[in-house]
Amino acid sequence: MRALKKEVVIIGGGPAGLEAADSLNKLGHAVTILEKEGKPGGKLSNWHKLFPDNVSADGILKQMVHKISGDIQLITNVKITKISREGTKHSVWFNEGKCIQAEAVLVAVGFDLFNASLKEEYGYGIYDNVITSAELESMFTGQKSLATVTGKTPERIAFIHCVGSRDEKVGFRHCSSMCCVTGVKQAIEIKKRLPAAEVMMFYMDLRMHGRFYEDLYLEAQEKHHIQFIRGRLSESSENPDGSLLLKADDTLAGSPIKVKADLMVLLLGFVPTDFHRKMGEEFGVEIGSDGFFSPCDAHLDTNSVKTNGIFVAGACTGAKSLEYTLADARSASLKIHEFLLQTTSANILN
Amino acid sequence: MKFNLFVLPFTIGLLVLFSILTAKYIRWFLSLSTDQRDAVIKNFFTLKTLSGLREIFLESLLHRNISRKNRLLGYMHMSLAFGWFLLIIVGHFESYSYFKTALEPPYIPIFLRYFQQDSLADPLQVIYWFVMDLILLFVLSGVALAWYKRHNRKHFGMKKTTRHLPADRIALSVLWFIFPLRLLAESITSAIYGGGSFLTSGLGSLLENNIASDLSFIASWWAYSISLGLFFVFLPFSRYMHIPTELVLIMLRNWGATKYTGKIDGITQFEVHSCSSCGICLDSCQLLELGHANIQSPYLFRNFRGNKLSDTVVQNCLMCGRCETTCVVGIKTNSVRRAIRQNSDVEVNHDYLRHVDTSFNSSPDVLYFAGCMTHLTPGIKKSMQAIFKAAKINYALVDEDQNICCGRPMMLSGLAEQSLAMVNKNKELFENSGAQTLVTSCPICYKVFRDEYNLNIEVLHHTQYIDRLMKEGKLALAKSEEQVVYHDPCELGRNSGVYDEPRRVIAALANLSESPANREKAWCCGGSIANAMLTSLEKKELAISALGKIVPKNTMTLVTACPLCKKTFASTGKHINIVDIAELVAVNLSAGKDKRRIWMFEKIESASI
């Protein structure tokens, strides 16, 4: 088995890439991870705690990064320019002329967070006290202070669900499935830090589908008295003091409401990256109506695409929690291993 | 008395045609509004009648407008219309020169060669024969082109053509037969009795030996008469109704009687029946890109004429007005569609209006009405507020909190009567303010305030207002080297005629490029409020397609002047900065301080992977 040793390139050094690198390495393959940022970890590096059990994101990431050793090579600050294929060899070109060859390529590029400026009526980028869920996490991690722009402790905080999700008007019909629970987790965290604050959630319906998510929802209502208002925000405007006026429809009460808030948090949806579009246009990888990669079979083979030797794992095939991303990465590793075994036996027979 | 039974089909056809036309036109005239009728009476005995007649000559006979689109297409229409007109007129003169009376039955000049078979010792007759042959050749060249066009419309500058109904097809075939049959009848007559000129006599000598006989002689005159009679009977029930109706419409327009009244009236009827289904407008319709090929104006009008309106044909339209600018007859396609959409059955609830306070605490000089769409693009609103502040204007934002819609979205969807409550409340608000100027950021609001509110206050779109502030030197601005392209919003450009002010403002701030399809030819962004039938994906497809056509390769920033255009283009997710003129100005005022927030993309690059 050890003699097999085939080169695999993983594009993306986030959770999926790191987990797959570890598994493939244990299966006896030489792995190179190409990461666009200066360090591995992807979006996990900017997160504070993880739902539903509030473990530290940093702790999890450290354990994963710790496994990068031996036959796993990590190259950071990578900008991929081209992927080409000759026979069974794939060449991945990056950083002006550098090239790495591999028998198999695993695409684990994850997702982008929706560009909140596109939902202009919510005022992101225009009103100072409108922030994103990602920016709130960096307030939790201490990179920024949990305060309004003028440094005031917010008394009323509004969370807006489905920003860039389930919204055809901004071009994304799909449900990102992770933002509901993220919002509830973040609201609870705020109440723990600022018990006096009033926290409101504007939602369409809450999709608390994972294990223990519903418990979190109950805790938010009963223990933390977080207010859940069913209705989509229609628009927001800025008061002279920098606070925000939110206009929404309370669809349970059946009436329009206006609410003042010091801070407004937009729960951003997961959207495909530019890499998705490029892989689709230039390499023929199939793209679904949501813009994410479509694997060969949605049930039986979630890691292969129609192009031989290219594999996909993690949130680049649609929004996933960390739990499912890691499971998917391990599944992809096994799929790649099978593929490499097959090509070896085919070569011997020839 | 000069008579033969074969003239009956023609004569009966002509009588039927005149009776139907008279009945219809009287009915439509009676359904004109008082204003429209007064305009006719007031202007009838003025020079306007003469200018109407001049326009009829230029358009209905010479087809000048069509020639401007395409010379060949113009020649085809001119040879048929003007040629036929000359055949009738010169035929009458010829008839008069033989019979010295103008009171002959109308069929005499039409079938003159039958009734005047003998050659006279009159040199004038030879000249008439020559002229009439020449005119007939002129008409026949048009018929040949029309026939050729059915299969090669590209040579006539048209990509699409209208799909015709059976009645139209029959009328078309009959029309094509009329002039060849006339040629045949006159040639056989020439073969037997002599006479005729180069064409009829020439063809006559070819037919002399085998075709020309007593039987073919009378049969050909019968055939010619039947083709004419059939065409006359089919005319009021086919698209050829446009021939007489357009004449009336041109006169009504010159008399100033075609003002839109908000409902289906006589003018709507004249407009709808003036459409010849020529199909010249079809290529301008962007919905064809989405495969919606049965909703364009000619189809709407035809279904209206045939009383077969469906929801789709009425509602599935952007009301962008592109077809209106290409219509060679000048039919007000948007007004007609609005009249057809009008639906009094829908009830709306305006209870909330009772609680809207229209009193003013301050006395502003300028009112700023942002508009509903601008509330959804707060970047524009904030920029306007910065501009007012920089120019030290005493202004009031009137729709900050209890904003009432301007009413135009409802009007465009056929609820004009129902929108009046909102219109009146807004008017009350504007008039109570005592302000002299009303500025709005939304071209939809601008159009309705200016054209339908009858306000005593000056109404300006913010592009016009900024242009004025700049002229008055109230804004300290500097020109940058940024390359931008301007997109004319439908409601501001084509539908309101504001083209120059936005360009002046932009040109003072950046390098302005023009897209090939600008001004009245500008594309619709696809986000139109007038269309509730398209899906979001279809609207996005239109927006992406329009962006591709508008933005030049070396340009990263598209400047527009409509919040709806801005939103629609931005939601395509394309790597192009979509900016309103107000934002361009405000960023310039703040010396680029806020630029990063709006200009999302800095340089032209294919997205990195």
Chain B residues within 8 A of A77 when measuring between CB atoms: none
B474 φ/ψ angles, rounded to the nearest 5 degrees: -90, -5
Return the minimum-mean-pLDDT range out of A159-163, B97-101, B234-238, B369-373: B97-101
Q: How far is B592 from chain A (nearest CA, A)?
A: 14
From residue B513, give the alpha-carbon distance in Å to each of A349, B479, B494. Answer: 64, 15, 19
Which residues pair with residue B580 across a beta bridge?
B560
Chain A residues within 8 A of B536 when measuring between CB atoms: 168-169, 171
- Between CA B557 and CA B570 the distance in angstroms is 11
Provide the 10 A C-beta neighbour count for residue B122. Answer: 11
Residue by residue, DSSP assigns B302-356 as HHHHTT---HHHHH------HHHHH-TT---HHHHHHHHH--TT-----GGGGG-
With bands split at pLDDT 50, 70 and 90, how would you rate the model's confidence at B164? confident
Q: Quick check: B608 and A79 CB within 8 A?
A: yes
Residue B109 has pLDDT above 90, yes or no: yes
Note the pLDDT of residue B307.
92
Q: What is the pLDDT of residues A45-58, one digit of tens each?
A: 999 999 999 999 99
Q: Choose among B376, B382, B573: nearest Cβ to A121.
A: B376
Task: Report how many Cβ contacts below 8 Å link chain A to chain B.
Answer: 61
- Listed in sequence order, the DSSP H helices in B31-70 are 34-43, 47-55, 64-69
The answer for A 275-294 residues in CB contact with B (under 8 A) is 275, 277-279
Note the pLDDT of residue B605.
47
State the angle between helix axes of A213-222 and A179-193 in degrees (0 to 180), rounded to the nearest 10.
40
Q: Quick check: B609 and A275 CB within 8 A?
A: yes
Q: How far is B545 from chain A (nearest CA, A)?
A: 15
Residue A125 has pLDDT above 70, yes or no: yes
Q: How far is A225 from chain B (nearest CA, A)?
A: 30
- Cβ proximity of B514 and B532 under 8 Å: no
Q: Choose among B537, B540, B609: nearest Cβ to A80.
A: B609
Report yes or no: A81 at the B interface, CB cutoff 8 Å.
yes
Note the pLDDT of residue A169.
86
Q: Quick check: B572 and A235 CB within 8 A?
A: no
Q: Quick check: A236 and B378 CB within 8 A?
A: yes
Average the pLDDT over B132-158 and give the result: 92
Q: What is the pLDDT of residues B510-559, one digit of tens each?
A: 999 999 889 999 999 999 999 999 998 899 999 999 999 999 988 899 99
> What residues in chain B have their Cβ under 8 A from chain A's Cβ atoms?
375-379, 381-382, 400, 535-537, 540, 566-567, 570-573, 597-598, 600, 607-609
- Cβ proximity of A79 and A109 under 8 Å: no
Check residue B576 and give left, alpha or beta (phi > 0: left; psi -120 to 50: alpha).
beta
Q: Is B511 exposed, middle or buried (0-12, 13-18, 19+ CB in 10 A)?
A: middle
- Between CA B258 and CA B276 the distance in angstroms is 19
- Between CA B484 and CA B158 the distance in angstroms is 32
Chain A residues within 8 A of B535 when measuring between CB atoms: 168
Q: Is domain B351-467 given the CATH code 1.10.8 in the classification?
A: no
Report yes or no: A249 at the B interface, CB cutoff 8 Å.
no
- Between CA A42 and CA A54 the distance in angstroms is 19
Q: How far is A258 from chain B (nearest CA, A)?
A: 10
**Cβ-proximal residues to A344 (8 Å cutoff; 6+ apart), any chain:** A4, A6
Average the pLDDT over A313-339 and give the result: 97
Note the pLDDT of residue B262.
87
CA nearest B512: which of B521, B525, B501? B501
Report yes or no: A304 at the B interface, CB cutoff 8 Å.
no
- Between CA A333 and CA A327 the distance in angstroms is 10
Note the pLDDT of residue B437.
97
Report yes or no: A118 at the B interface, CB cutoff 8 Å.
yes
Higher pLDDT, A67 or A266: A266
**Cβ-proximal residues to B427 (8 Å cutoff; 6+ apart), any chain:** B453, B455
Q: Quick check: B573 and A117 CB within 8 A?
A: no
Q: Quick check: B597 and A279 CB within 8 A?
A: no
The percentage of chain A sitting over the pLDDT mark of 90, rounded to a whole number, equals 82
Average the pLDDT over A29-58 and give the result: 95
Q: Choose among A79, A126, A168: nearest Cβ to B382.
A: A126
Q: Quick check: B597 and A117 CB within 8 A?
A: yes
DSSP tag of B164: P
Cα A106 to the center of its chain, rounded Å: 17
AA letter at B213: S
- Between CA A265 and CA A251 the distance in angstroms is 21
With bands split at pLDDT 50, 70 and 90, how would you rate the model's confidence at B386? very high
- Between CA A275 and CA B241 the distance in angstroms is 58
Can you say whether the dihedral through the CA atoms of B536, B537, B538, B541 is positive or negative? positive
Q: Coil, strand, or helix at residue A118?
A: helix
Q: Quick check: A117 and B375 CB within 8 A?
A: no
Q: Quick check: A277 and B607 CB within 8 A?
A: yes
Cα B417 to the center of its chain, rounded Å: 25
The answer for A 122-141 residues in CB contact with B (under 8 A) is 123, 125-127
Residue B251 has pLDDT above 80, yes or no: yes
Chain A residues within 8 A of B598 when measuring between CB atoms: 125
Note the pLDDT of residue A86.
87
* Average pLDDT across chain A, whole number: 93
Q: Quick check: A123 and B378 CB within 8 A?
A: yes
Q: Coil, strand, or helix at residue B363?
A: coil
Residue B607 has pLDDT above 60, yes or no: no
- Between CA B114 and CA B371 the distance in angstroms is 72
Q: How far is B373 from chain A (nearest CA, A)?
A: 9
* Long-range pairs of B208-216 with CB within 8 A, sequence gap ≥ 24: B212/B188, B216/B188
- Between CA A71 and CA A24 the distance in angstroms is 10
Note the pLDDT of residue B606.
40
Nearest CA in chain B to A115: B573
Note the pLDDT of residue B329.
95
Report yes or no: A274 at the B interface, CB cutoff 8 Å.
yes
Average the pLDDT over B55-80 and give the result: 95
- Cβ proximity of B590 and B597 under 8 Å: no
Chain A residues within 8 A of B381 when measuring between CB atoms: 237
Return the minimum-mean-pLDDT range out of A186-195, A341-350, B89-98: A341-350
Q: Quick check: A120 and B570 CB within 8 A?
A: yes
B30 φ/ψ angles, rounded to the nearest 5 degrees: -70, -25
Average the pLDDT over A12-20 and give the result: 97
Q: How many helices (H) and strands (E) does chain A have?
A: 7, 20
Note the pLDDT of residue B603.
57
Q: Quick check: A125 and B567 CB within 8 A?
A: no
- Cβ proximity of A249 and A232 under 8 Å: yes
Omega cis (within 30) before A52: yes
Residue by residue, DSSP assigns A166-227 as SBGGGTB-S--SSHHHHHHHHHHHHHHH-TT-EEEEEES-----STTHHHHHHHHHHTT--E
Buried/exposed code over A238-257 (b: 16+ C-beta within 10 A; e: otherwise): beeeebbbbbbbeeeeeeee
From residue B309, give the alpha-carbon distance in Å to each of A3, B306, B312. Answer: 76, 8, 8
What pTM did the predictor assign? 0.89
Q: Choose among B378, B536, B572: nearest Cβ to A168.
A: B536
Report yes or no: A30 at the B interface, CB cutoff 8 Å.
no
Q: How far is A215 from chain B (nearest CA, A)?
A: 36
Residue B195 has pLDDT above 60, yes or no: yes
Q: Quick check: B600 and A117 CB within 8 A?
A: yes
Note the pLDDT of residue B212.
84
Residue by residue, DSSP assigns B534-577 as S-HHHHHHHHHHHHHHHS-TT--EEEES-HHHHHHHHTT--SSE
Q: How far is A31 from chain B (nearest CA, A)?
A: 20
**Cβ-proximal residues to B443 (8 Å cutoff; 6+ apart), any chain:** B461, B489, B490, B491, B492, B495, B496, B498, B561, B562
**Cβ-proximal residues to A222 (8 Å cutoff; 6+ apart), any chain:** none
CA nearest B440: which of B484, B477, B407, B482? B407
Note the pLDDT of residue B317.
97
Note the pLDDT of residue A2.
43
- Between CA B387 and CA B469 the distance in angstroms is 9
Note the pLDDT of residue A350.
56
**Cβ-proximal residues to B208 (8 Å cutoff; 6+ apart), any chain:** B191
Structure tokens at B131: 């002229």
Q: Is domain B477-608 given the CATH code 3.40.50 in the classification?
A: yes
Note the pLDDT of residue B584.
94
With bands split at pLDDT 50, 70 and 90, how would you rate the model's confidence at B156? confident
Note the pLDDT of residue A85.
87
- Between CA B262 and CA B339 the distance in angstroms is 6
Give the residue extent of every domain in chain B: 64-226, 351-467, 477-608
Q: What is the dihedral of CA B271, B277, B278, B283, to 10 degrees?
A: 100
Higher pLDDT, B470 or B575: B470
Note the pLDDT of residue B533.
95
Q: What is the pLDDT of residues A211-259, one digit of tens each?
A: 999 999 999 999 999 999 999 998 899 999 999 999 999 999 988 899 9
B169 φ/ψ angles, rounded to the nearest 5 degrees: -65, -45
- Between CA A119 and CA B178 the distance in angstroms is 63
**Within this chain, domains B351-467 and B477-608 share the same CATH topology:** yes
Note the pLDDT of residue B152.
85
AA letter at A199: V
Nearest CA in chain A to B373: A121
Structure tokens at B121: 């010792």
Interface test with B, best of A126, A128, A130, A273 (most B CBs within 10 A): A126
Q: Coil, strand, or helix at residue A56?
A: strand
Chain B residues within 8 A of A171 when measuring between CB atoms: 536, 540, 571-573
Note the pLDDT of residue B104.
85
Q: How far is B583 from chain A (nearest CA, A)?
A: 11
Nearest CA in chain B to A81: B609
* Average pLDDT across chain B, whole number: 93
